[in-house]
Structure 1
Amino acid sequence: MAIECLVLGAGQEVGKSCVVVTINGKRIMFDCGMHMGYLDHRRYPDFSLISKSHDFTSSLSCIIITHFHLDHIGALPYFTQVCGYNGPIYMTYPTKALAPLMLEDYRKVMVDRRGEEEQFSSEHIVECMKKVTAVDLKQTIQVDEDLQIRAYYAGHVLGAAMFYAKVGDAAIVYTGDYNMTPDRHLGAAQIDRLQLDLVITE
């Protein structure tokens, strides 16, 4: 069993969530967020740490997005349409429905109203979302012959999910943001009893 973690964002700061986990040779990017407090290169994760040659599609087995907040998905159109990642992307159905609204609203505020340099366009958002595969909670997805993933209810916001990933004899859970206190429209996070080698939590 071999597990390695590369923290590209949110390790010691709030924002820019992006963790690349290698499980028995399979590399998964969990979240692809932006940091709302920066306007320079620090806004996005340093993707060059994944691949010096910038061959991101070959370097990653898949991307998993936990929910639609920009600190977890804000860099995704940039990574797919500008950096060129063209591999599998997974998120829940509500996240896939709401993410483009959040991304376009951000683009309008920053570019159309504030006049900042455009990092990604409306077309980039549309094309990016075409690459996304939506999943149901507790649906087991076979990403490839070895990698298996499953989403669990996280609370937090509509569509938010914790993700389980298994490769061979190694299994992990990445929680993203979650809550254990139900409110009027969201319940507490729920997950099966699992044998895990690593939990990454916020």
Structure 2
Amino acid sequence: MRISFHGADQDVTGSCHLIQCAGKKILIDCGMFQGGRDLSEENAEDFGFAASEIDYVLLTHAHLDHCGRLPLLVKRGFRGEIIATAATKDLARLVLLDSAHLQESEAKFQAKKFARHSDAEPPEALYTLYDATRCFDYFGREAQYEHGIHIAPGITVTFYEAGHILGSACVYLDLKEEGKHCRVLFSGDLGSNGRKILRDPAPPPKADVVVMETTYGDRLHRSLDDSVAELYQAIHTTFAHGGNVIIPTFALERAQEILWYLREGVERGILPAAMHVFLDSPMAISATEIFRHHPECYDEESASLFKQGRDPFHLSNLHITRDLADSMAINRINGGAVILAGSGMCTGGRVRHHLKHHLWRKNASIVFVGFAAKGTLARKIIDGARSVYFLGEDISVNANIYTINGFSAHADRDELLAWHQHTHAKKTFLVHGEEDVMHIFAKHLKGAGHTDVIIPSKSQVFELCNNQ
């Protein structure tokens, strides 16, 4: 029994871990590397294993940094089975088609650029819409929470609610090989407790080995009530100065959660009924439709609203903008609007054009409600840059900048520690976090219990088995 690490190792993106047991090779996630630096070469590198030899992929959730290289895996020879929850399967289809479209668009742009300035061959798309479509042929059984799936002799997998985004899961593997037994638990990305829409993460089972995320392993989140109050105050202050509010929004979960609080703010009379809200993200629009089709993932309050025939994501002045022309027209509105647009880290998408039109305005506000990796445009603005270069221009940062981390879809330090305590793990691998954060969280783990903590490097291999 072995585990090897092929992504999100001392980094926050590209989650990809390989289990070898009983003659089978099982991949947990196959994510894309993301961030400010040029990662096209890293995403195109060898996986560190032969794609054709992978028997199963167990997908924790549909964020691009966990599923984004699945089409590449298929392109390079994977012919096994991808197992995920029903909601993850639906969201992954949306995410991967969008990613393929972006890959093809970038390849066309680079081809034109190379034609003008170089005799070298332009880089190819990492994968195409055809590759993404082929990938869906390999999605097989749909996992139900806390129902074991026997995938091979000596190997059973069980998915547990992770509370991160719709359909997200922790993956628990019960492994047996030649008289050896090991229980391995992958946290995936863990959500924060007490959030709207989704259920809290389920208490995890006991495990011998845990592989866990550490995104916010060095800090506590602000309370959700305080975060909502700050969002409302930011909107009031901005409107009073005649400006617009731009919220860079992750399409999956964050967009829906912000819509929930905007609706609730209007219904409670805290926000003006005349407030115009623009959901300017085709992916977020489609994701919201998928949310409506998966009530099995809701918490009690959300489920109750849907049973009453109420849509928790709808406001009377909500404008859905799929077309690019409608998106461009938003920037003719000088004040009184809240604009939700992707991407959340401002690495691409329509939000960059809204930032171009608003970042230099003193009466505008930019409200960040999620994690921003090092090197991304969002992180540069959050860290206090006075000007930023994007879309071919240097843009002054004069707008009011808010960072409200209480909306994070990731568990904070204490929630991570509490989750881990349930596992009674003897060995813990830390992944999916910035390296300095991992070291801080490792100290907390060691102080909280008896577990060996390992921070693996990319391509490192470890023996898993114990004699039981």
Per-residue CA deviations over 1:53-104 (Å, capped at 9, x if unaligned) read x3x33x3331111000000000001101x11110121111001001111111
Q: Which amino acid aligns with 1:190?
A: A
**Distance apart, 1:192 and its partner CA:** 4.8
Task: Tell me how far apart the structure 1 counterparts of residues 212 and 183 of structure 2 sit (CA, whole Å).
Answer: 15
Among 52, 65, 68, the residue aligned to 1:71: 65
Report the secondary structure of 2:152's partner residue.
coil
SS of match in other structure, 2:184: strand
Structure 2 match to 1:165: 173
Alignment of 1:118-157 (within 5 A): 118-133=125-140, 134-157=142-165
Instruction: Report what 1:99 is aligned to.
Output: 92
The structure carrying a bigger helix percent of its residues is: 2
Secondary structure of the residue aligned to 1:143 is strand
**Counterpart position of 2:429:** none
Quick one: structure 1 residues 115 and 97, their matched pair in 2 at CA, closer, same or farther if it must change by over 3 Å?
same
Task: Flag the structure with higher strand content.
Answer: 1
TM-score (norm 2): 0.39
Distance change >3 Å, CA 180–CA 104, structure 1 → 2: same
| The structure with more radius of gyration | 2
Give the structure 2 partner of residue 181 of structure 1: 193
State the superposition RMSD in angstroms.
Answer: 1.9
Q: Is the 8 A contact 2:64 2:96 kept in 1?
A: yes
Q: Deviations over 1:27-69 (max 9, x none)?
A: 321110011233432125632x22xxx3x33x33311110000
Contact 2:16/2:66, CA 8 A, preserved across alignment: yes
SS at match of 2:109: coil
Q: Which residue of 1 aligns with 2:80?
A: 87
Per-residue deviation at 1:188? 1.5
Give the structure-1-normalised TM-score: 0.86
Q: 1:131 to 1:73 in 2, by over 3 A?
A: same
1:30-41 to structure 2, matched below 5 A, reads: 30-37=28-35, 38-41=38-41
Count of paired positions: 192
1:137/1:151 contact within 8 Å kept? yes
Unaligned runs of 5+ in 2: 111-123, 214-468
Q: Which runs of 5+ in 1 are unaligned?
A: none
Distance in 1, matches of 2:101 and 2:164, equals 25
* 2:104 counterpart of 1:111: yes
The answer to whether the Cα contact below 8 Å between 2:103 and 2:127 also exists between their aligned partners in 1 is no
Distance 1:136 1:115, change over 3 A: farther
